[in-house]
């Protein structure tokens, strides 16, 4: 009953209203002369310094869903859920090496999306279109999942209804407000809100990891309780340590997720919004503070075991919703007002990434579909306008996914999203280093990687489902005599690379035209203050060339 949670609901609502007001005010924060430009609306003027970038990218990468789902995974499966820690360690050196180059080349040429870069680098609008569509398709379910995070909180507070519309009304309102201020303020809104969101999360988690072990008898007892639970369960692959079967899966999932995360359009948007290379590099040393936070959050799953939390029922009869374990733990262990703060941290935590993701998807549509195929001569003001409207459409789509479809569908799609975004690695990440691959080779590799990834995911069964049961692919399916599993995305991207390389060799032997590289080696090291290539001249030069690939 919601009446039992009145204090929590009031605290949650007040904090939610506060950040909504901030979202609208953000349009005037560090206000540009002219907001009607995609660089301003979609990238915050490419002007964010160290602190803002830290909060923005931190708030962007560590989403509400992460904060809810990772402890839920620990609660359900144990050590396998801790992959989130190596995953978020490995990503920063990768960004340090790779995305800094993307920042430079984008700064120089005025690129807004990774597909802009690919178009220019490989002289192929088709490849750019594929990259853009992959990005949009991978991002949409990720936005929907942020709603799953909010819903877990609302459910725990007893805010539910008898029919689908009543049950979803709070998140529809929340997303309508979010859509309105994102429309008005662009990337400045999540950047400003991220300060509140991240501060709340840090406070809540620091209190939780000091106070809860004290209440639950210390870390030794917490791990003992988890160990006892997994010993008693019939599943052979859970436990507080990994076993022989899931170690390969653990490391490939960590690596694959890290590679996927920095290819996601929303991470790239966060990185491109920074002021210069130094801001990014310094942040790679500072952002791991969030990884520590995430590691501690993951352990909340064990605390929930030790505290005897029983998850609330799921959408279908007989199932349980493990995503509710952390909200329930807070409800059970904290005073009402502090549980309200914790819920607000999760709820607001959903808004920041949802805003950035919708902006990133909107930018992809505007730059690589609208401007490329619908209106070649769009002015910067028109681009900004199309992007604003698209961001609304994207959010409506995300809400519709949650309201009309089983949330499990979004979770499946997000699983697929990680695998498909990895297929852009050869063109985007390796493209920053080499133009050795032929554009047609990259297209064929992408197609094969996508098809293989989908097939493998389809084949994965779980105790409750026959298909799309997870991302751990049993190697025995390939005919190996083993019970080991591996992360689908890694296999798909390796095959993608191999195919791209073979096709490249064949096309080169046949002397098929490769197009013209629109970038120079110097572009990859350009920094703040270096002159820019005028985007207009750049685009026209490309447009004048014959259609390709």
Partner 1 sequence: MAAPEPEAPATAPSRAKDHSPWNWLLFIPIVVPLIPVFFNGDSPRVFGFPRFYWLQLAFILLGVGTTTLVYQMTKKRGDS
Minimum gap (Å) between residue 374 Cβ and partner 1: 24
Is 430 a residue that touches partner 1 (CB under 8 A)? no
| Encoded tokens for 21 | 């007001």
Yes or no: say if 263 and 429 are a contact pair by the CB < 8 Å rule.
Answer: yes
Minimum gap (Å) between residue 427 Cβ and partner 1: 20
Choice from 228, 292, 374, 405 touching partner 1 (CB under 8 A): 292
Strand 485-487 versus strand 472-474 pairing type:
antiparallel
Helix (H) or strand (E) holding 485: strand 485-487
Q: How many CA atoms lie within 13 A of 529 on its CB side?
A: 2
| Encoded tokens for 16 | 């939610």
Minimum gap (Å) between residue 284 Cβ and partner 1: 5
* DSSP 8-state assignment for residue 487: E
Secondary structure class of 320 (helix, strand, coil): strand
Is 427 a residue that touches partner 1 (CB under 8 A)? no
Rounded to an integer, what is the distance from CA 31 to the centroid of its chain? 27
With 0-12 CB in 10 A as exposed, 13-18 as middle and 19+ as buried, what is 278?
A: middle
Nearest to 54 by CA among 208, 281, 363: 281
d(CA 112, CA 352): 19
d(CA 448, CA 304): 42
288 versus 314: smaller Cβ distance to partner 1:
288
d(CA 176, CA 138): 22
Is 90 a residue that touches partner 1 (CB under 8 A)? yes
* DSSP 8-state assignment for residue 334: S
| Encoded tokens for 231 | 């010993």
With 0-12 CB in 10 A as exposed, 13-18 as middle and 19+ as buried, what is 208?
A: buried
397 versus 535: smaller Cβ distance to partner 1:
535
Nearest to 20 by CA among 187, 167, 227, 180: 180
Choice from 247, 382, 385, 483 touching partner 1 (CB under 8 A): 247
Interface characters, 93-122, with partner 1 (x: CB under 8 A): xx-xx----------x--------------
458 versus 524: smaller Cβ distance to partner 1:
524
Minimum gap (Å) between residue 119 Cβ and partner 1: 13
358 versus 519: smaller Cβ distance to partner 1:
519
Choice from 116, 383, 412, 523 touching partner 1 (CB under 8 A): 523
Is 482 a residue that touches partner 1 (CB under 8 A)? no
Minimum gap (Å) between residue 247 Cβ and partner 1: 4
Is 516 a residue that touches partner 1 (CB under 8 A)? yes
Binding segment toward partner 1, per CB under 8 A, in 234-242, 333-341, 391-399, 489-497: 234-242
Minimum gap (Å) between residue 538 Cβ and partner 1: 7
Minimum gap (Å) between residue 309 Cβ and partner 1: 20
Is 531 a residue that touches partner 1 (CB under 8 A)? yes
Place of tokens 């007001």: 21
Residues 116-155 that bind partner 1 (CB under 8 A): none
| Bridge partners, residue 510, by sequence | none
Residues sharing a CB contact under 8 Å with residue 170, sequence separation 6 or more, in sequence order: 150, 154, 159
The backbone torsions φ and ψ at residue 274, rounded to the nearest 5 degrees and listed phi first, read -80, 160
Backbone torsion region of residue 320, taken as left when φ is above 0, otherwise alpha when ψ lies between -120 and 50, otherwise beta: beta
The backbone torsions φ and ψ at residue 245, rounded to the nearest 5 degrees and listed phi first, read -80, -35
Nearest to 352 by CA among 20, 12, 4, 17: 20
Interface characters, 272-291, with partner 1 (x: CB under 8 A): ------x--xx-xx--x--x
Choice from 14, 228, 241, 400 touching partner 1 (CB under 8 A): 241
| Encoded tokens for 110 | 């005025």
d(CA 495, CA 356): 31
Residues 333-372 that bind partner 1 (CB under 8 A): none
Is 70 a residue that touches partner 1 (CB under 8 A)? no
| Encoded tokens for 510 | 């046949």
Binding segment toward partner 1, per CB under 8 A, in 39-47, 343-351, 414-422, 520-528: 520-528
Interface characters, 202-231, with partner 1 (x: CB under 8 A): ----------------xxxxxx--------
Minimum gap (Å) between residue 258 Cβ and partner 1: 8
Binding segment toward partner 1, per CB under 8 A, in 345-353, 437-445, 461-469, 526-534: 526-534
196 versus 251: smaller Cβ distance to partner 1:
251
Is 477 a residue that touches partner 1 (CB under 8 A)? no
Choice from 77, 79, 394, 497 touching partner 1 (CB under 8 A): 79
Helix H, strand E, coil C: the string for 371-396 is HHHHCCCCCHHHHHHHHHHHHHHHHH
Is 295 a residue that touches partner 1 (CB under 8 A)? yes
| Total residues in contact with partner 1, by rule CB under 8 A | 53
Choice from 242, 342, 384, 442 touching partner 1 (CB under 8 A): 242
188 versus 539: smaller Cβ distance to partner 1:
539
Burial pattern 500-538, b for ≥16 Cβ within 10 A else e, equals: bbebbeebeeeeeebbeebbeeebbebeeeeeebeeeeb
Binding segment toward partner 1, per CB under 8 A, in 20-28, 90-98, 128-136, 464-472: 90-98
Choice from 75, 103, 111, 250 touching partner 1 (CB under 8 A): 250
Footprint of partner 1 on this chain (CB under 8 A)? 79, 82, 85-86, 89-90, 92-94, 96-97, 108, 218-223, 240-242, 247, 250-251, 254-255, 278, 281-282, 284-285, 288, 291-292, 295, 299, 516, 518, 520, 522-527, 530-531, 533-534, 537-538, 541-542
């Amino acid at each position: 009953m919601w009446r039992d949670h009145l204090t929590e609901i009031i605290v949650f609502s007040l904090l939610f209203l506060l950040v909504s007001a901030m979202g609208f005010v953000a349009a005037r924060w560090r206000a540009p002369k002219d907001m009607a430009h995609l660089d301003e609306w979609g990238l915050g003027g490419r002007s964010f310094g160290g602190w803002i970038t830290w909060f923005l990218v931190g708030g962007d990468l560590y989403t509400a869903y992460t904060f809810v789902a990772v402890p839920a995974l620990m609660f359900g499966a144990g050590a396998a859920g801790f992959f989130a820690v190596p995953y978020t360690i490995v990503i920063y050196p990768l960004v340090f090496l790779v995305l800094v180059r993307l920042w430079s080349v984008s700064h120089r040429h005025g690129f807004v999306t990774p597909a802009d870069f690919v178009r220019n680098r490989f002289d192929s609008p088709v490849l750019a279109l594929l990259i853009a569509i992959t990005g949009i398709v991978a991002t949409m379910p990720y936005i929907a999942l942020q709603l799953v995070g909010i819903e877990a909180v609302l459910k725990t507070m007893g805010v539910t209804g008898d029919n689908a519309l009543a049950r979803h009304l709070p998140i529809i309102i929340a997303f309508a407000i979010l859509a309105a201020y994102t429309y008005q303020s662009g990337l400045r809104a999540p950047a400003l809100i991220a300060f509140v969101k991240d501060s709340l999360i840090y406070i809540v988690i620091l209190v939780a990891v000091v106070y809860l072990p004290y209440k639950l008898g210390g870390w030794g007892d917490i791990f003992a309780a988890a160990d006892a639970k997994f010993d008693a369960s019939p599943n052979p692959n859970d436990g507080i340590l990994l076993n022989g079967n899931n170690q390969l899966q653990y490391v490939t999932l960590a690596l694959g997720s890290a590679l996927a995360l920095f290819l996601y359009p929303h991470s790239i948007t966060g990185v491109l919004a920074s002021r210069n290379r130094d801001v990014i590099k310094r942040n790679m040393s500072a952002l791991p503070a969030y990884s520590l936070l995430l590691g501690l959050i993951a352990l909340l799953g064990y605390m929930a075991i030790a505290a005897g939390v029983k998850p609330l029922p799921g959408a279908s009869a007989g199932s349980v919703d493990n995503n509710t374990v952390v909200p329930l733990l807070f409800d059970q262990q904290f005073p009402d007002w502090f549980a309200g703060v914790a819920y607000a941290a999760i709820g607001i935590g959903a808004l920041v990434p949802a805003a950035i993701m919708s902006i990133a998807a909107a930018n992809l549509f505007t730059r690589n579909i609208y401007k490329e195929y619908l209106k070649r001569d769009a002015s910067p003001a028109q681009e900004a306008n199309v992007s604003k409207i698209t961001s609304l459409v994207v959010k409506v789509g995300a809400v519709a996914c949650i309201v009309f479809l089983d949330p499990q569908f979004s979770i499946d799609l997000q699983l697929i999203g990680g695998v498909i975004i990895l297929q852009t690695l050869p063109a985007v990440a390796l493209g920053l280093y080499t133009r050795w691959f032929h554009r047609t080779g990259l297209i064929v590799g992408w197609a094969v990687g996508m098809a293989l990834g989908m097939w493998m995911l389809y084949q994965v069964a779980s105790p409750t489902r026959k298909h799309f049961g997870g991302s751990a692919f049993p190697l025995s399916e390939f005919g190996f005599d083993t019970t080991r599993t591996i992360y689908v995305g890694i296999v798909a991207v390796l095959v993608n690379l191999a195919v791209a390389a073979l096709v490249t060799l064949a096309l080169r032997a046949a002397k098929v035209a490769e197009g013209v590289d629109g970038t120079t080696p110097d572009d990859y090291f350009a920094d703040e203050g270096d002159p820019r290539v005028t985007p207009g001249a750049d685009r026209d030069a490309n447009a004048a060339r014959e259609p390709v690939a």
